[in-house]
Amino acid sequence: MSISYTILGVLMDAPAHGYSIKKTLLESFSPQLDLNDGQLYPALARLEQRGWIEKEVVEQRSSPNKHRYRLTPPGRREFLRWLESAETQDAPAPLDFFWRNDFLQKTGFFRHLEPGSVGSQVREKLGEVSRCLADLERSLEALPGGADPYRRMVVDYGIRYQRMRREWLKELLVCSGETAGGRPRALAGQAT
Amino acid sequence: MSISYTILGVLMDAPAHGYSIKKTLLESFSPQLDLNDGQLYPALARLEQRGWIEKEVVEQRSSPNKHRYRLTPPGRREFLRWLESAETQDAPAPLDFFWRNDFLQKTGFFRHLEPGSVGSQVREKLGEVSRCLADLERSLEALPGGADPYRRMVVDYGIRYQRMRREWLKELLVCSGETAGGRPRALAGQAT
DNA sequence: ATGGGCATGTAAGCGGTTACATGATTAT
DNA sequence: ATAATCATGTAACCGCTTACATGCCCAT
């Protein structure tokens, strides 16, 4: 259900076709926020099937016609219901940050690796996160000054998130270094 | 693929059956880190099918027999390959934090709500996050002092994550309040 | 001619979520 | 009696990812 409501949200402002929905999201949040085609078009079909949006075909000289979608009254109601409802669906498991985070899952087993190997992985990740952070900071600056403050806050969330990850990774680097430094490492039964 | 490697990781230490894998995770990370049964058992079956783990049935007096799984040599190799590989699978989209975050997606459309309504939603979320944070802090303290520092770092990640969210929510509250307070809100002729 | 932007989709596979289904033992 | 813990699974649904498939227009 996640992506559907964002689509409805974009259609709250004006009717649009699939491709322009993508563009709107890119422009009003961040160029990083991309929407998968294989997700977008089936989602539009589902929304139409439920009667929340309506299609109108706009003929184009060039072959692929535009499908302009507009919100129906039930669609608008449904969107507002979702927006107002307190029961947010996220974090069914409070540790959702763990289960969809490959790197964090690896971290839990780093003791099976040599400290040097941990260090190089952490440094690589650090670079990745830093690059991502820089992109987000740039896209926040690029947002027009008068832009919806809530949309700025969404990008700001991303920035805070990446900063948090950066600081955590630095700590992790220290952690791996200390372990190498001289602490006995204790354990570690069996290895083949 | 995500959950599979964590299962293999637990089996690196010792053979175990499904239920005890759950318990190990709960105990060595946080009681919050729960594993869905409908995810665990099919995952074990998949891993067995790929030859990464082997089953041995342990008869019990009481009806449900234990299925003790042990890592096979290919399984161990596969786990280490994953652990050493730099190509972490996460963040195929750098804004993954957006697409699976119901609340954040709502935030992008809060301008459709009255400030008071925004405020109450934010305050509710704030409570939820604070509670989750307290739980995580408690579970970090509960981890034995000599525990694997990397596992402590995993829980620490969760703590930093929730703290970040708390601070961001406070900022969001200010944002909604100011908007109500008297600032003109500028904009907003919708663009097409 | 090559690549990027515009424009729309389908198919296969994988895996996560929820609900259903069972049943013994132990502690309160 | 009742609930929690131990123990294992299946079925249906839903949706995300990746790859495939097409084809025009415009700028370099």
Res B61: pLDDT: 73
- Residues 81-100/A with CB < 7 A to strand C: 92-93, 96, 99
Which whole number is the average pLDDT over B143-154?
Answer: 92
Res A186: pLDDT: 46
Place of tokens 């129906």: A72
DSSP A22-75: HHHHHHHT-TT----HHHHHHHHHHHHHTTSEEEEEE--SSSS-EEEEEE-HHH
A4 touches chain B (CB under 8 A): no
Indicate yes or no: pTM above 0.95: no
Round and report the angstrom distance from CA (A62) to C1' (C1). Answer: 21
Amino acid at position B115, single letter:
P
Res B162: pLDDT: 94
Is the N-terminal amide bond of B188 cis, ω within 30° of 0?
yes
Res A156: pLDDT: 95
- Residue B175 near residue B121, CB atoms below 8 Å: no
Specify the range with the lowest mean pLDDT, choosing from A28-32, A37-41, A49-53, B68-72: A28-32
pLDDT at A185 over 60: no
pLDDT in tens, B36-47: 999 999 999 999
Mean pLDDT of chain A: 87
Cβ contact, residue pair B121, A160, below 8 Å? no
How many percent of chain B have pLDDT more than 90?
Answer: 66
Task: pLDDT band for B141, please (50, 70, 90 cuts).
Answer: very high
A158 touches chain B (CB under 8 A): yes
Res A150: pLDDT: 96
Contacts of B167 in chain A (CB under 8 A): 160
Q: How many CB atoms sit inside 10 A of residue A18's CB?
A: 18
pLDDT at A60 over 90: no
pLDDT in tens, A81-134: 999 988 776 655 566 788 888 899 999 999 999 989 999 999 999 998 999 899
Q: Is the CB of B65 within 7 Å of strand D?
A: yes
User: Of A97, A100, A178, which has the smallest distance from its Cβ to B161's Cβ?
Assistant: A97
**How far is the CA of B123 from the CAs of B86, B101, B171, B185, in angstroms?**
40, 17, 11, 22
Which whole number is the average pLDDT over B105-128?
Answer: 94
Query: Can you say whether residue B91 is alpha, beta or left, with left for phi > 0 and alpha for psi between -120 and 50 degrees?
Result: left
Q: Is the CB of A90 within 7 Å of strand D?
A: no
More confident residue, B145 or A153: A153
Res B89: pLDDT: 64
Q: Is the CB of A113 within 7 Å of strand D?
A: no
C-alpha to C-alpha distance for B163 and B130, rounded to whole angstroms: 8
A126 touches chain B (CB under 8 A): no
Q: What sign does the dihedral B151-B28-B156-A164 (CA atoms) show? A: positive
pLDDT in tens, B54-84: 999 887 776 678 999 999 999 999 999 999 9
The residue that minimises its CA distance to C1' of C15 is B1
Res B186: pLDDT: 46
Residues 6+ apart with CB under 8 A from B37: none
C-alpha to C-alpha distance for B173 and B53, rounded to whole angstroms: 50
Res A1: pLDDT: 63
Token representation of residue B67: 């299925």
Q: Which of residues 95-124 of A touch B (CB under 8 A)?
A: 95-113, 117, 120-121, 124
A76 touches chain B (CB under 8 A): no
The residue that minimises its CA distance to C1' of C17 is B38
- Residue A133 near residue A162, CB atoms below 8 Å: yes
pLDDT at B190 over 50: no
Res A147: pLDDT: 86
